[in-house]
């Protein structure tokens, strides 16, 4: 171990660090343990997030792997918000901002305690990108070990269910399509246990993308949380961090432009959450890699969509795992030269992740010759109400809504919009506009899962579009267009839309416009005064003052 570059040598060797070492002895460490590489095992374990409830066991397994390979594992905590529990009330204001707190706290713990390397153990939405951002910022050997996906639940008829099924069930109940006992049954059975919710939502999207960008071993995104294979995976990853330390292979050696191209190719093939765009932009920013929405659209235009996992289809992440997982998807993509196969990863090169695999199974993973779509699962649109772009999960949009025009129904916040939807005030053909929910205006860019699920449950998702400067959960489906930039609170043109204005949406043509002349828009802009952020005090007040636009990843300046 002596040939390793060790930050902890500062603690272990210098005589003047005797007081520091005394505190390590107070923790029960032996001299041998102090002299070994100190590996931070950062776990988001808590008793409030189902995706994190078992991470104590995953962290212990990872620590066992570190120790077996010659390192000294040191467990430290991370916060984590459960987006599902936070949804629909003031808690959702804190979700996206928590990503920055997580990145800052991992940086703080690693720097303050001279960690030589990191095993990062997240499992849910903002925790994964927050830890990745910290890894890129710190640039010490790091590996991601997720907690794995939740198994799908079962409805009364034996069909597969996920959290999105329950959100949509509320809309169905409100519209009279479901009775109270049916809703109660789903409430108790949609989420059967620990793990990240079972669809291709943001958590599973990011855990899968960690494999493609090279920061996790094969299986990170799809091995079920309740499987013994997840524990073995954690042990293997803990051991692998010691190999990365020996090689001095750091995140910025891995997170190059080629890595993000690989991540985007997988993103488009899987049909990942639109939040993945927000997070990849933020991680690229920390890694010093130029990435923008036009690059994302270019990758989408040339990459086929091979999977339709819930909410876009009836398959779940456990089905993807049984079909060969992310390595099988990458093997299929490799047949069409969609990947940078020589890109370095925590395993070796990306090609090592899918060596010997045949690719698509023809069901969960379609072959290149028969994709769900010739273009990727995510599309970026531009126009006179989104001059810096906006994002939609194209793979979850019904064919009849790919091109749509309709009158704007304008709401200055999610709460008024959801009340109108539940109150039966939204009609087929409408375009619901929810503004002042962006990074600054929210603040915190709340997810609009309640409105989209209400529309789906009320059987309006194939007739009504929704656009917002906020964002959507990966559980959303339908013509749900988010991340409109610039946001209303920053003076964006979405703030100029009036009730009844006709909105033209062309997802196939990457455009979104309000049917008004430049002169009319300019006249409205001259009289426009953006509303201030809804929360001006505390942490969210600071966040609103510092956060950038969604098209830049909503990072802090």
Show which residues are catalytic: 473
The answer to whether residues 24 and 34 touch, using CB atoms and an 8 Å cutoff, is yes
The answer to whether residues 130 and 98 touch, using CB atoms and an 8 Å cutoff, is yes
The answer to whether residues 480 and 461 touch, using CB atoms and an 8 Å cutoff, is no
Between CA 93 and CA 417 the distance in angstroms is: 17
The answer to whether residues 339 and 333 touch, using CB atoms and an 8 Å cutoff, is yes
Which 3-state string (H, E, C) describes 42-106?
A: EECCCCCCCCCCCHHHHHHHHHHHHHHCCCEEEEEECCCCCHHHHCCCHHHHHHHHHHHHHHHHH
Cβ-based burial of 216 (10 A; exposed 0-12, middle 13-18, buried ≥19)? buried
Task: From residue 455, give the alpha-carbon distance in Å to each of 130, 422, 431, 452, 481.
Answer: 31, 9, 12, 5, 14
Residues pairing with 305 in the sheet: 373
Residue 323 makes CB contacts below 8 A (sequence gap 6+) with 361, 363, 364, 365
Q: Are strands 502-506 and 403-411 parallel, antiparallel or unpaired?
A: antiparallel
Question: Which SS3 state, helix, strand or coil, does residue 480 take?
Answer: strand
Question: Which SS3 state, helix, strand or coil, does residue 40 take?
Answer: strand
Sign of CA dihedral 513, 517, 522, 524: negative
The answer to whether residues 80 and 94 touch, using CB atoms and an 8 Å cutoff, is no
User: Is the preceding peptide bond at 443 cis, omega within 30 degrees of 0?
Assistant: yes
Q: Contacts from 527-532 at CB under 8 Å and sequence distance 24+?
A: 528/491, 528/495, 528/496, 530/441, 530/488, 530/489, 530/490, 530/491, 530/495, 531/412, 531/436, 531/441, 531/488, 531/489, 532/489
């Amino acid at each position: 171990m002596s040939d390793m570059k060790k930050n902890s040598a500062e603690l272990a060797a210098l005589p003047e660090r005797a007081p520091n070492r005394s505190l390590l002895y107070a923790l029960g460490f032996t001299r041998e343990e102090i002299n070994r590489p100190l590996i931070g095992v950062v776990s988001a374990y808590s008793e409030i997030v189902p995706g994190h409830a078992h991470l104590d066991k995953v962290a212990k397994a990872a620590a066992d792997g570190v120790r077996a390979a010659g390192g000294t594992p040191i467990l430290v905590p991370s916060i984590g918000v459960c987006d599902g529990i936070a949804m629909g009330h003031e808690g959702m204001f804190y979700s996206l901002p928590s990503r920055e707190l997580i990145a800052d706290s991992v940086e703080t713990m690693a720097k303050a305690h001279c960690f030589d390397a990191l095993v990062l153990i997240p499992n849910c939405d903002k925790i994964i990108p927050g830890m990745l951002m910290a890894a890129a910022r710190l640039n010490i050997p790091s590996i991601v070990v997720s907690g794995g996906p939740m198994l799908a639940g079962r409805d009364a008829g034996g069909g597969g269910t996920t959290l999105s099924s329950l959100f949509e069930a509320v809309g169905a109940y409100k519209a009279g399509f479901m009775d109270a006992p049916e809703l109660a049954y789903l409430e108790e059975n949609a989420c059967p246990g620990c793990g990240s919710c079972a669809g291709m939502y943001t958590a599973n999207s990011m855990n899968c993308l960690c494999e493609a960008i090279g920061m996790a071993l094969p299986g990170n995104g799809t091995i079920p949380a309740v499987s013994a294979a997840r524990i073995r995976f954690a042990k293997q990853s803990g051991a692998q961090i010691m190999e990365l330390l020996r090689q001095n292979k750091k995140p910025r050696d891995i997170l190059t432009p080629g890595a993000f191209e690989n991540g985007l190719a997988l993103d488009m093939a899987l049909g990942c959450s639109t939040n993945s765009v927000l997070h990849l932009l933020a991680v690229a920013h920390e890694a010093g890699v130029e990435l923008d929405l036009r690059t994302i659209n270019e990758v989408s235009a040339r990459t086929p969509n091979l999977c339709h996992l819930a909410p876009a289809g009836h398959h779940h992440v456990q089905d993807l795992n049984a079909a060969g997982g992310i390595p099988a998807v990458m093997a299929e993509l490799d047949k069409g030269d969609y990947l940078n196969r020589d890109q370095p990863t925590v395993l070796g090169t990306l090609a090592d992740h899918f060596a010997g695999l045949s690719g698509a199974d023809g069901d969960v993973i379609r072959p290149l010759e028969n994709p769900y779509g010739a273009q990727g699962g995510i599309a970026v649109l531009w126009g006179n109400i989104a001059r810096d772009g906006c994002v939609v999960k194209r793979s979850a949009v019904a064919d009849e809504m790919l091109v749509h025009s309709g009158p704007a129904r304008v709401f200055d916040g999610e709460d008024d919009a959801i009340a109108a939807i539940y109150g039966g005030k939204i009609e087929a053909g409408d375009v619901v506009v929810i503004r002042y929910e962006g990074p600054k205006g929210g603040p915190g860019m709340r997810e609009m899962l309640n409105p989209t699920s209400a529309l789906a449950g009320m059987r309006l998702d194939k007739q009504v579009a929704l656009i917002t400067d906020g964002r959507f959960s990966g559980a959303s489906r339908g013509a749900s267009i988010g991340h409109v930039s610039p946001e209303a609170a920053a003076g964006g043109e979405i703030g100029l839309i009036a009730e009844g204005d006709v909105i033209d949406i062309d997802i196939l043509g990457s455009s979104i416009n309000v049917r008004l002349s430049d002169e009319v828009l300019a006249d409205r802009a001259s009289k426009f005064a953006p509303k201030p952020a809804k929360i001006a005090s505390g942490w969210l007040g600071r966040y609103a003052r510092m956060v950038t636009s969604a098209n830049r990843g909503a990072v802090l300046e």
